Chain A
């Protein structure tokens, strides 16, 4: 189950990026993402789990580059989301490999896929809304307030990260 979801995520991520790049007339770059998906799946098959972190970073770099060059944001967003899911599921598959045959692997897979799916949908929905909804005139006070909120959030995040 996890493997199927993992392959689908990789295809979603790299495929979306490839489509986005192809639409922008960068067919050569689009082909690189196809190769990246093949490499990623092969590496997972050979249990080189570290490759998934590199591949995730590459999809994000690809999405960032696309955004910078004003390619279709939706494809870039889907690319980043697919990369995130692929990275998550690859690590989950690694963790599952430690489980014994008598452990409830099916149940764990089902619960993880449900949660990862919900989180991905939520993230995608929020990102899509942020992309669609544009507030043309943002008063300076609100901008300052948002910056302060972002700073607070970041501080909380750093504190959280230091705990682990």
Chain B
């Protein structure tokens, strides 16, 4: 609905000029010329709607969907005022949503006490979208007069990231919570994983007796003890810094990171853990830890709104607010990693957190779309060596790393690498 010079103003101005010219020059022919214009103008005024009373309602076929899935938006406009001869309706689409089928703009005639319904289909990338209003322009039958109104018709659409189902994610935080779960708690009790041998107490099930150990002594019976399995506190940190996620030619690893965070959050909540999410980008977006399906929704909601961003303050991981995470809990950092991130990771370990880094591999990602020249290959090898060195240093600090080549599906990589705790962690009994 582009703005243009008011038609009534133009016609009025010309009519006045002609009439005045006729009066000044005492030439009736000028007034004769003005007469069709005046008739036109008056007809417009005469038939302009007395009362514009419109209402708009909106219905979305779904309010939660996945990226690039079709969503049908249905808008109904009801006229509770005068008969409207020419109504131009434009439903304002949120930025980034694409129109797939149908139209969000219509030119109609709307008689008194009647309704008009139109529907169209949109798709879009991950995000949260708010539909606010419908823009309506009402013209009289000659469009001499026009009035524009914005009718409130709110609607919300959340396009959540695709959640891959992960079978099991093995984590070993130092401290667990009191509720039963699936994380070994480093304490003897009921469970499935062998913990040790102790003296048999009355009440222990007979099948717990370790006959081999008991055979060594005459009067004492020994029983096997298993590790308690409990739920744990897990903090997922999604790195949304531009410096680690954005690459040449507008390529970004951020969507992969979001996908990984969503899959991990879902899997850990399914295991019964208390999970929180921190999006570390231009600003911090913190989802308070919680359990269950409601927390899953909250995390997905936060991930739907997550955007990569850069800021001076959060350029490095030094300003990571570790107080948000319970002491000695599990932290999962989803980040392509930057060489400056080594020190903050070591500090996290020093504070007693069990740290797992899911690192989408930026070197392989960038090489996958760059031209394969000799120089590029050489540069790739150098950067790959630098990254390998960085990962080695991080591993030496006791941080578990999953180096993820994003060409491979995340669920397969997790199944291969994270379904059991790493050997070195099991070897030292942690």
Binding site for B on A (CB under 8 A): 49-50, 53, 57, 60, 63-64, 67-68, 73, 76-77, 80-81, 84, 88, 91-92, 95-96, 98-105, 107-108, 111-112, 115-116, 119-120, 122-124, 126-127, 130-131, 150, 154, 157-158, 160-161, 163-164
The reply to whether B86 and A95 form a contact with Cβ atoms under 8 Å apart is yes
The reply to whether A95 and B88 form a contact with Cβ atoms under 8 Å apart is yes
- List the A side residues contacting B147 at CB < 8 Å: 164
**Is B18 engaged at the interface, CB distance under 8 Å to the other chain?**
yes
Interface-located stretch among B40-48, B190-198, B212-220, B373-381: B40-48
The reply to whether B36 and A84 form a contact with Cβ atoms under 8 Å apart is yes
| Bound Cα distance from A24 to B41, whole angstroms | 31
What string of 1s and 0s marks CB contacts (under 8 Å) between B133-157 and chain A? 0000001011101110000000000
- List the B side residues contacting A120 at CB < 8 Å: 36, 40
Give 18 CB contacts A-B under 8 Å: A53-B5, A57-B14, A60-B18, A64-B30, A73-B32, A77-B33, A81-B36, A100-B103, A119-B39, A119-B43, A120-B36, A120-B40, A123-B38, A127-B32, A130-B35, A131-B32, A160-B8, A164-B146
Per the 8 Å Cβ criterion, residues 114-139 of B in contact with A are 118, 139
| Bound Cα distance from A68 to B141, whole angstroms | 33
The reply to whether B14 and A60 form a contact with Cβ atoms under 8 Å apart is yes
Contact partner of A108 among B7, B39, B86, CB < 8 A? Answer: B86
| Bound Cα distance from A83 to B29, whole angstroms | 17
- List the A side residues contacting B45 at CB < 8 Å: 157, 160
> Measured between C-beta atoms, what is the minimum distance from A62 to chain B in Å?
11
**Is B108 engaged at the interface, CB distance under 8 Å to the other chain?**
yes
| Bound Cα distance from A81 to B32, whole angstroms | 11
Contact A108 to B21, CB < 8 A, known contacts A64-B33, A115-B142, A116-B142:
no
- List the B side residues contacting A124 at CB < 8 Å: 36
A-B Cβ contacts below 8 A, count: 131
Please provide the 7 A-B residue pairs with the shortest distance between their CB atoms, ordered closest to farther: A123-B36, A99-B107, A100-B103, A123-B39, A127-B35, A67-B29, A164-B145
| Bound Cα distance from A37 to B29, whole angstroms | 24
**Is B422 engaged at the interface, CB distance under 8 Å to the other chain?**
no
**Is B1 engaged at the interface, CB distance under 8 Å to the other chain?**
yes
> Measured between C-beta atoms, what is the minimum distance from B36 to chain A in Å?
3
The reply to whether B29 and A157 form a contact with Cβ atoms under 8 Å apart is no
- List the A side residues contacting B41 at CB < 8 Å: 157
Contact partner of B8 among A76, A150, A161, CB < 8 A? Answer: A161
**Is B6 engaged at the interface, CB distance under 8 Å to the other chain?**
yes
**Is B106 engaged at the interface, CB distance under 8 Å to the other chain?**
yes
Contact partner of A99 among B7, B27, B106, CB < 8 A? Answer: B106
The reply to whether B27 and A107 form a contact with Cβ atoms under 8 Å apart is no
Per the 8 Å Cβ criterion, residues 406-428 of B in contact with A are none
Contact partner of A123 among B21, B40, B141, CB < 8 A? Answer: B40
Binding site for A on B (CB under 8 A): 1, 4-10, 12, 14, 16, 18-19, 21, 25, 27-33, 35-41, 43, 45, 85-86, 88, 90, 102-103, 105-109, 118, 139, 141-143, 145-147
The reply to whether B88 and A107 form a contact with Cβ atoms under 8 Å apart is no
> Measured between C-beta atoms, what is the minimum distance from A163 to chain B in Å?
8
B33, closest chain A residue (CB): A80
B9, closest chain A residue (CB): A161
Binding site secondary structure of chain A = helix
A73, closest chain B residue (CB): B29
> Measured between C-beta atoms, what is the minimum distance from A21 to chain B in Å?
15
The reply to whether B40 and A126 form a contact with Cβ atoms under 8 Å apart is no
The reply to whether A95 and B107 form a contact with Cβ atoms under 8 Å apart is yes
Known: A50-B4, A80-B36, A103-B108. 9 other contacts (CB 8 A): A53-B5, A57-B14, A76-B29, A98-B107, A108-B86, A108-B109, A130-B32, A161-B9, A164-B6
The reply to whether A112 and B35 form a contact with Cβ atoms under 8 Å apart is no
| Bound Cα distance from A54 to B32, whole angstroms | 21
- List the B side residues contacting A131 at CB < 8 Å: 28-29, 32
B116, closest chain A residue (CB): A103
B104, closest chain A residue (CB): A100
The reply to whether A98 and B33 form a contact with Cβ atoms under 8 Å apart is no
Contact A164 to B8, CB < 8 A, known contacts A84-B36, A131-B32:
yes
B29, closest chain A residue (CB): A67
A131, closest chain B residue (CB): B32
> Measured between C-beta atoms, what is the minimum distance from B115 to chain A in Å?
15
> Measured between C-beta atoms, what is the minimum distance from A138 to chain B in Å?
11
> Measured between C-beta atoms, what is the minimum distance from A94 to chain B in Å?
8
Contact A127 to B12, CB < 8 A, known contacts A67-B27, A112-B141, A115-B142:
no
| Bound Cα distance from A120 to B36, whole angstroms | 7
Contact partner of A100 among B5, B14, B105, B143, CB < 8 A? Answer: B105
- List the B side residues contacting A92 at CB < 8 Å: 143
- List the B side residues contacting A122 at CB < 8 Å: 39, 43
| Bound Cα distance from A160 to B145, whole angstroms | 9
- List the A side residues contacting B103 at CB < 8 Å: 100-102
> Measured between C-beta atoms, what is the minimum distance from A49 to chain B in Å?
7
> Measured between C-beta atoms, what is the minimum distance from B91 to chain A in Å?
11
| Bound Cα distance from A124 to B33, whole angstroms | 9
Contact A126 to B107, CB < 8 A, known contacts A95-B88, A119-B40, A150-B19:
no
| Bound Cα distance from A37 to B333, whole angstroms | 70
> Measured between C-beta atoms, what is the minimum distance from B148 to chain A in Å?
10
- List the B side residues contacting A108 at CB < 8 Å: 86, 107, 109
The reply to whether B35 and A98 form a contact with Cβ atoms under 8 Å apart is no
A50, closest chain B residue (CB): B4
